[in-house]
Amino acid sequence: MPGLHQHVGKIFADLAVPDPLADGGDLECRSPVDGAVLGTLTSHTPDQVSAVIARSQAAFEQWRTVPAPVRGDLIREFGQLLREHKSALGTLVSIEAGKIESEGLGEVQEMIDICDLAVGLSRQLHGLTIATERPGHRMMEQWHPLGVVGVISAFNFPVAVWSWNTALALVCGDAVVWKPSEKTLLTAIACTGLLRRAARAAGAPEDIATLVLGGRQAGEVLVDDERVALVSATGSTRMGKQVAPRVAARLGRTLLELGGNNAAVVAPSADLDLTVRAVVFSAVGTAGQRCTTLRRLIVHRSVKDDLVRRLTAAYRSLPIGSPLESSTLVGPLIDDAAGQAFTAAVGTARAEGGTVVTGGTVHEQISQELGGCYVRPAIVDMPAQSTVVRTETFGPILYLLTYDDFDEAIRLHNEVTQGLSSSIFTLDLREAERFVSATGSDCGIANVNIGPSGAEIGGAFGGEKETGGGRESGSDAWRNYMRRATNTVNYSPDLPLAQGVTFS
């Protein structure tokens, strides 16, 4: 559709980044809004990826000598550019990932927020001073820059996840090579262009922020290259299971942010008005394509009928359509394959005894009118936590499970292989505290009276079990991007040995 292509051209002009789209490349850039090809780009060959890593390594060797607070100045400048171009970048996210306007802007805001956090951190990358057992000695730890960080990212947060990694890695003194999803290359080119512009303005080596384009093969070069000290990979559990052993084989570091299968427990005392609003946003926002999307609702039998009635009414009134229209709340799935996976999962749920309460079909009329793949979000009542319920299908399907006893709710909640995010809706203090305790939710994120999606950057983000165990963003996640050195300094003329050992 020429309209979207021209829109993209205008956005790149606004960002003062050259429009990269050309004809004849092997990577098709498609917009899920209309399913049409905007243009093409060309994959990097393995040799080209290797050359980018070499440039990144050289930039790292310079950058690590710059004091951390001065490195923070670069991130402040980048955050400023993001503020200036928030609207254009938000629209680009909507065009390329299909997010509605507010979520596209929210993704850019997330980049701005992590920049602010990183600027503050640039003066707080501290170690400890530790008491030693030896007189006239001092023991301390320091955190040093780590090296080249390879960032592999997924389509559904096309820029935020990269910025979480990159803002922290850069203030920590590292250089970043980014392999974005092959489905969202334009936002990656735009953001890298802005960051390199900020680097030029700050007098920093531009190659602290580099980009490699391609699919799995380009990612594999990063995974296998010993110069890449840390591989931070976000995507499916399938991808993580391929990446982790390869990086481990060379004893490199990984930071894994993989699939989720997030649940919420709705207890008898829940405030149902609030619960309905939270559930609809968490289950349907981003058309069910968030790693933290609510996929399983574990409802107490006493409130189930009332809740299902209210949820059904809310689902039936959801505006589905182009994410570029400000009234839309449910945009497209990323591509037709995602639509097929959605339909297949609803079919499997039926075969496993489920009853479709609402939705669950492709919206043929809107899909034909606009050209993308638009679906009606589904609620499916399940008799048990069967195979399909335990599987992450990346679309808006909410499975209902029923419980009678709180221990049963916790058991159902934890009985999946993923462990990313979770919630409980209750006004009962004992239930709330139990849910966030060691015997409650086994996820990396456990919330009370808010949904599982929509995290703030101040907390550490990530999950357990097959979600990969990584933590990014806030709290002490910066430590992932540094190496720790323990230093013992002897300022005495004697040489006492630890543990009372004598050697003379």
Give me the residues that bind ligand NAD (CB under 6 A), please: 152-157, 161, 179, 181-182, 215-216, 219-220, 223, 234-236, 239, 242-243, 257-260, 291, 392, 394, 420, 467
Q: Which is nearer to ligand NAD, 243 or 280 (CB)?
A: 243
Integer Cα distance of 429 and 17 in angstroms? 53
Helix (H, G, I), strand (E, B) or coil at 265: strand
Q: Which is nearer to ligand NAD, 234 or 426 (CB)?
A: 234
Given the residues 96, 101, 257, 431, the one annotated as active site: 257
Phi-psi region of 229 (alpha: psi -120 to 50; beta: other; left: phi over 0): alpha
Q: Which is nearer to ligand NAD, 73 or 392 (CB)?
A: 392
- Closest of 346, 349, 350 to residue 361, by C-alpha: 346
> Which phi and psi angles does 466 have, rounded to 5°?
-75, 0
307 residue type, one letter: L
Q: Which is nearer to ligand NAD, 66 or 287 (CB)?
A: 287
Neighbours of 305 (CB within 10 A): 10
Taking the complex as a whole, the smallest distance from the CB of residue 111 to ligand NAD amounts, in Å, to 15
Taking the complex as a whole, the smallest distance from the CB of residue 259 to ligand NAD amounts, in Å, to 3
Taking the complex as a whole, the smallest distance from the CB of residue 465 to ligand NAD amounts, in Å, to 12
Phi-psi region of 478 (alpha: psi -120 to 50; beta: other; left: phi over 0): alpha
Q: Which is nearer to ligand NAD, 246 or 277 (CB)?
A: 246
Residues found in the chain: 504
379 contact partners, CB below 8 Å, separation of at least 6: 308, 311, 312, 315, 356, 357, 358, 359, 398, 400
Q: Which is nearer to ligand NAD, 122 or 262 (CB)?
A: 262
Taking the complex as a whole, the smallest distance from the CB of residue 140 to ligand NAD amounts, in Å, to 34
What dihedral angle (degrees, nearest 10) is formed by the CA atoms of 16, 21, 22, 25?
140
Q: Cα-atom radius of gyration of the chain, to the nearest Å? A: 24
User: Residue 253, class by beta-carbon neighbours within 10 Å (0-12 exposed, 13-18 middle, 19+ buried)?
Assistant: middle
For residue 257, indicate whether it is catalytic.
yes
> Strand 460-461 vs strand 209-211: parallel, antiparallel, or unpaired?
unpaired
Taking the complex as a whole, the smallest distance from the CB of residue 396 to ligand NAD amounts, in Å, to 14
- Closest of 274, 253, 290, 266 to residue 110, by C-alpha: 290
Taking the complex as a whole, the smallest distance from the CB of residue 345 to ligand NAD amounts, in Å, to 14
Would you please indicate which residues are annotated as catalytic (active-site) residues?
Answer: 257
